Amino acid sequence: MASSSSGFVTGLTAAALVTVGFLAYQASASAPADLTTPHANSIPAAAASKAPRDKRNPAALPSGSGTGERVVYSVDDNRVWLVDAANRTRRTFRVTPGTVDPPPGTYTVTSRSNAITGTDGTPVEHVVRFTSVDGVTIGFSAAVDEAPPRPAPTTRTGGIRESREDGNAMWDFATIGKKVVVIR
């Protein structure tokens, strides 16, 4: 009787494991999509493809760049869009990137400084930081001297430079917690 009893328990255990596995599969397959998207300040698992562009108007906000009030930064185009809650572009401008680019993804503004010296030694103002890559802080800033030298390729800097006028607009728009969407 002992051997038939242990076979019965083994069968129940196997059936329970199959049931739990099946239920886990069903739960993961029906989970909402937002549970698997990167959260603020997380590095995306895979590089996103380049967001579609309007070939007739290269300064137009790329489709697929998110929704709601946000800063959109295109690494490939070296362009920023300040977008309001109604998905209208309030301002767009060209920028000069640092030597370290943030990966595509969604971040939030984590800190701001009115005036500091950048990692390349350039005095900057209106610094808006949103992530870091391998210990290099990434953020937008405006050089106090409108024409700073471009950093040497060997200098690791995450400063995304904008004009002082554009820096003022970024400073007013991108407060702590504001969404920043980085695209290719």
List the CATH code of the domain at 70-183: 2.40.440.10
Cβ–Cβ < 8 Å for 179, 107:
yes
What was the pLDDT predicted at 155?
85
For the record, the structure tokens of 122 come out as: 């350039």
Residues 6 or more apart whose CB falls under 8 angstroms from that of 67 comprise: 87
Residue 68 has pLDDT above 90, yes or no: yes
What was the pLDDT predicted at 33?
39
Q: Look at 76 and 53; give whichever has higher pLDDT.
A: 76
Mean residue pLDDT across the chain: 79
Residue 163 has pLDDT above 50, yes or no: yes
* Confidence band, pLDDT 50/70/90 cuts, at residue 108: very high
Total-model pTM = 0.71
Q: Which of 49-58, 83-92, 134-143, 175-184 has the lowest mean pLDDT?
A: 49-58
Distances (CA, A) of 114 to 8, 92, 125, 128, 150: 72, 21, 5, 9, 21
Mean pLDDT of 8-37: 43
